[in-house]
Each structure stands twice: as structure tokens, then as C-alpha cells.
Amino acid sequence: MRWFRFAVLVLIATILQTSLVGMVSLRGVRPDLLLILLVFFAISIDPRDAIVASFAVGFAADLSNPIRGLMGPQIISFGILGTLLSDVHSIMSIQRMAHLAVTVFVIGSLTALLSYLLTFFRAEPATAHFAAQLLWQPLYSAVLGPFLFFPIAWWMRISRKGRKRRRPGLW
């Protein structure tokens, strides 16, 4: 795993997410670049590295776009679901564009749901944007995500054939 390239990529995605991504928003819904990165790394790199990468992407998400000003909900939700996806990918290959799109959508919805539930521990979550975060943002990301996997793979020098399947080893 090339961690320096990873750090640069996450940093660029974080800055773009909070600034220029607004240019491609549709009715206020923006694609989530960090979600796309999460799915990419969960299915493309070693499961051990995928854990660290998932939590790091979650940290970047919380830093740049905190839900209700809190840090933590997205670190935990991205970390758990990234690790879970990495394990699922060990037993079930996700390679086709359609499958990738569905994966981005499902993981996006689940991270939004988990972040929403975790926010209850510290504050009252914002219900008004919940539908957009649960449905429309993952949907937009799912449409865009598979196409962004190619430049990300090129930058990370990762073969898009993906890692070999192996037995899950976390639990």
C-alpha cells in the first residue's frame, strides 16, 4: 500500500468535497467522493490495510464535513462498514460496474444510517437532510463512483483486477 499517495488522494478528495463538488450538485445533492474512496480501498487493497484506510477516510469525512459539528460518527461508520465490505469482498468478488455501483449505494446508505444513529449519543441529528444523505447522495455517488475507480486505481498504482479472494480473517 502506498500510504503517501493515499494521504494525498484523501486530502485532495476532502478539499474537493467541501468546495468544488458543489459545482456538480443536482438539486443540492452532491456526490460523496470520500464514500467512493472508501469502497475503492475496501475492495482493492489488503484487508489489513483496508481497516486503516477505512478509518482514515472516515476521519477525513468528519474533519471536512462534520455532522452537527461532531467528530466521530463518520470515523466509526466508515471504519466498520469499510472493514465489513473488505471481508465481504474476500468471499464474494465485486468487479462489474453495476455491482460496484450497487455496492457504493448500499455502503453509502448504511454509513449515513449508522452515522445518524451514532449522532444520537451526542446531539439531536438533523432530520431534514437525512433523506438526501440516506438515498440521493449514495445514489449520485453510485452513478459516478465506478467511473472514478479507474483514475484512482491509476494514481494508487493498483490493478483494477482487484486483490485475490481469501478467507475472511477478522473474526
Residues that bind other proteins (CB under 8 A): 15-16, 18-23, 28, 30, 47-48, 51-52, 54-55, 58-59, 62-73, 75-76, 79-80, 83, 118, 121-129, 133, 169-171
Q: What is the largest CA-CA distance in the chain?
A: 43
Cα gap 88→102, rounded to integer Å: 14
Q: Which is nearer to other proteins, 36 or 51 (CB)?
A: 51
Up-side HSE of residue 153: CA atoms within 13 Å toward CB? 18
Integer-rounded Cα Rg, in Å, for the chain is: 15
Residue 147 DSSP symbol? H
**Minimum CB distance to other proteins, residue 106 (Å):** 20
Residue 29 DSSP symbol? B
Q: Which is nearer to other proteins, 38 or 118 (CB)?
A: 118
Q: What are phi and psi of 6, to 5 degrees?
A: -60, -45
Q: Which is nearer to other proteins, 70 or 102 (CB)?
A: 70
Q: Which is nearer to other proteins, 32 or 101 (CB)?
A: 32
**Minimum CB distance to other proteins, residue 56 (Å):** 9
Q: Which is nearer to other proteins, 70 or 110 (CB)?
A: 70
Cα gap 28→125, rounded to integer Å: 19
**Minimum CB distance to other proteins, residue 73 (Å):** 7
Q: Give the DSSP H/E element, type plus range, for residue 6.
A: helix 3-18
**Minimum CB distance to other proteins, residue 21 (Å):** 8
Q: Please name the residues in contact with 124: beta carbons below 8 A apart, sequence gap of 6 or more.
A: 68
**Minimum CB distance to other proteins, residue 163 (Å):** 14
